[in-house]
Structure 1
């Protein structure tokens, strides 16, 4: 029996992990047809079917699962050995893929990314800004960045930002001549700028005070799917918006927006970078986390 190549075994592992020839091919940088032919050749060489294929999905057979269980630790050990060689050169290399929402991506671009790319010139960073929460393992990302409450429990997380809060804001022109809301339910008598989530649902505004929690499907003729546009619309007098305080901070400071219901808007866990704890952490991601902690510590020292 001809022994399979490392490339073939790596390709099989990718197909089994992604449950898709297309996604695995994209991750490996090869064509779907060449990957399919490689898997057929691997099965012929081993004399056993490794993958069950349908028109919609692909999954390991019992023999494939058995091979995958033994193959996983071997490939992880190989990755660690290659990373050790990279560490001995003093600089990691390769591509680091991170999935984040737009506000997190903007924060990273202002703080961590410039220092990271300057310090590690052999690294390439693929930063994908995406509204919806994705499975970073399935989509072949090394890490994700989301609010702490959205991080899956089986992930290792590292703080990116301090605690934050969502606040209700409106322009002086909108507030002029109107009674400012004193409790969340008062918003039912106002124009509110609603938010469309990536899932297609409209976001319901969440409030909490002294242990009391209120969730409102606020009224409003305008719905937007961008925090930035919501801040602009509120500044233009179109109604109340419920946005991260950081997104409205500049306009709050210069008086273009005013905050209401502040005591109903508690702080929540801020942004976190997260990654699978059961997988080998590549050198490029470890280096990114080191820079992230360095930047955060320097901000704390200044404060």
Structure 2
């Protein structure tokens, strides 16, 4: 009997994700191919492994038993293949990275462009989204989050400086309501609230004098940065945005920055990934490249940085050079 290893790998992916579509994305095949492979495997084994409905996929008792037996073996196979990658002059593979939009646009894009120029056999896929993702469950090789937002069971590597934000409003709005003099006065203003896919509002963070997270309130709620910026230009209220999203509006005078003395912003971005015996060669190469690029950037900006204690790192951060 032919080994059903390809079908078993697809079954494990479906079982992990609870989704044929997500398994197909991970394995880089079509959803119909996944469905056909699972049906073929069930026919070959003579047992139902997955229960399907129009809305969900659930593992049967037999499927759960098979998955528990399969996973150690599949990890050994994956490790064996990755060990062979160590003998290549250049890494080979496909990287999937999940990151917040500002980091994806203003940091990861430049890193990926330079990286694939050095490693043409690697493909890098960047998914920019606000929602927190379980990178293992969703089939990502790595994710990016800020400081304490990095899951504690992950390994983290800093890939950039603290991210600067700005609290801005239109001149027309500030004529109606005097600019806030401290973050505590935000409660007296109309704030444009950005809601994440989880339903939670984005907190406004300040690094100096009154550090901490302030949850805004307001009559306008949006789910993306550009809509919030446009609404602010139209006089709807204050918005908290990455400085590069509002640079042109500030330069033209369409928006005015407030609360600068409190240094609106968040901590440095960290690339994080799951602990594993053998890192995929492409991921290891990207981690090393990002770390080296960050070190060079730090050296260039060292003279311009204000003196003071370094920002707190997440407990799972990896020291440079490890």
Tell me which interval the TM-score lies in, with the shorter structure as reference length: 0.7 to 0.9
> Residues 218-233 of structure 1: matches in 2 within 5 Å?
218-220=217-219, 222-231=220-229, 233=231
SS in 2 for 1:89: coil
Return the TM-score normalized by structure 1.
0.80
Match of 2:270? Answer: 272
CA distance in 1, matches of 2:10, 2:177: 64
Match of 1:90? Answer: 89
**Displacement of 1:298 after TM fit?**
0.6
Mapped contact 2:82–2:278 kept (Cα < 8 A): no
Task: Tell me which moved more, 104-113 or 229-238.
Answer: 229-238
Task: Tell me which moved more, 207-216 or 175-184.
Answer: 207-216
CA distance in 1, matches of 2:13, 2:276: 16
Task: Tell me which moved more, 229-238 or 96-105.
Answer: 229-238
Match of 2:66? Answer: 67
Mapped contact 2:191–2:216 kept (Cα < 8 A): no
Query: Quick one: structure 1 residues 13 and 279, their matched pair in 2 at CA, closer, same or farther if it must change by over 3 Å?
Result: farther
Query: Quick one: structure 1 residues 112 and 12, their matched pair in 2 at CA, closer, same or farther if it must change by over 3 Å?
Result: same
5+ long unaligned stretches in structure 1: none
**Displacement of 1:117 after TM fit?**
0.6
Match of 2:26? Answer: 27
Match of 1:142? Answer: 141
Query: Quick one: structure 1 residues 15 and 201, their matched pair in 2 at CA, closer, same or farther if it must change by over 3 Å?
Result: closer
Mapped contact 2:206–2:266 kept (Cα < 8 A): no
Mapped contact 2:50–2:59 kept (Cα < 8 A): yes
Query: Quick one: structure 1 residues 176 and 158, their matched pair in 2 at CA, closer, same or farther if it must change by over 3 Å?
Result: same
Superimposed CA distance per residue, residues 3-62 of structure 1 (whole angstroms, 9 cap, x where no aligned partner): 633212212221221222333234334444543443344345445x36241314334444
Query: Quick one: structure 1 residues 237 and 41, their matched pair in 2 at CA, closer, same or farther if it must change by over 3 Å?
Result: closer
Superimposed CA distance per residue, residues 156-185 of structure 1 (whole angstroms, 9 cap, x where no aligned partner): 222222223544223556545853322335
CA distance in 2, matches of 1:130, 1:212: 26
CA distance in 2, matches of 1:223, 1:241: 11
CA distance in 2, matches of 1:52, 1:238: 50
Match of 1:10? Answer: 9
> Residues 148-167 of structure 1: matches in 2 within 5 Å?
148-167=147-166
CA distance in 1, matches of 2:213, 2:131: 24
SS in 2 for 1:156: strand
Mapped contact 1:115–1:291 kept (Cα < 8 A): no
Match of 2:297? Answer: 299
CA distance in 2, matches of 1:157, 1:33: 36
Query: Quick one: structure 1 residues 295 and 250, their matched pair in 2 at CA, closer, same or farther if it must change by over 3 Å?
Result: farther
Mapped contact 2:207–2:266 kept (Cα < 8 A): no
Task: Tell me which moved more, 231-240 or 160-169.
Answer: 231-240
**Displacement of 1:90 after TM fit?**
1.2
Task: Tell me which moved more, 250-259 or 6-15.
Answer: 250-259
Query: Quick one: structure 1 residues 15 and 229, their matched pair in 2 at CA, closer, same or farther if it must change by over 3 Å?
Result: closer
CA distance in 2, matches of 1:114, 1:214: 34
> Residues 114-153 of structure 1: matches in 2 within 5 Å?
114-153=113-152
CA distance in 2, matches of 1:279, 1:51: 29
SS in 2 for 1:137: coil
SS in 2 for 1:134: coil
**Displacement of 1:287 after TM fit?**
1.2
Corresponding pairs, count: 300
Mapped contact 1:4–1:45 kept (Cα < 8 A): no
State yes or no: 1:195 paired with 2:194: yes
| Root mean square deviation, CA, Å | 3.4
Query: Quick one: structure 1 residues 266 and 224, their matched pair in 2 at CA, closer, same or farther if it must change by over 3 Å?
Result: closer
CA distance in 2, matches of 1:253, 1:25: 45
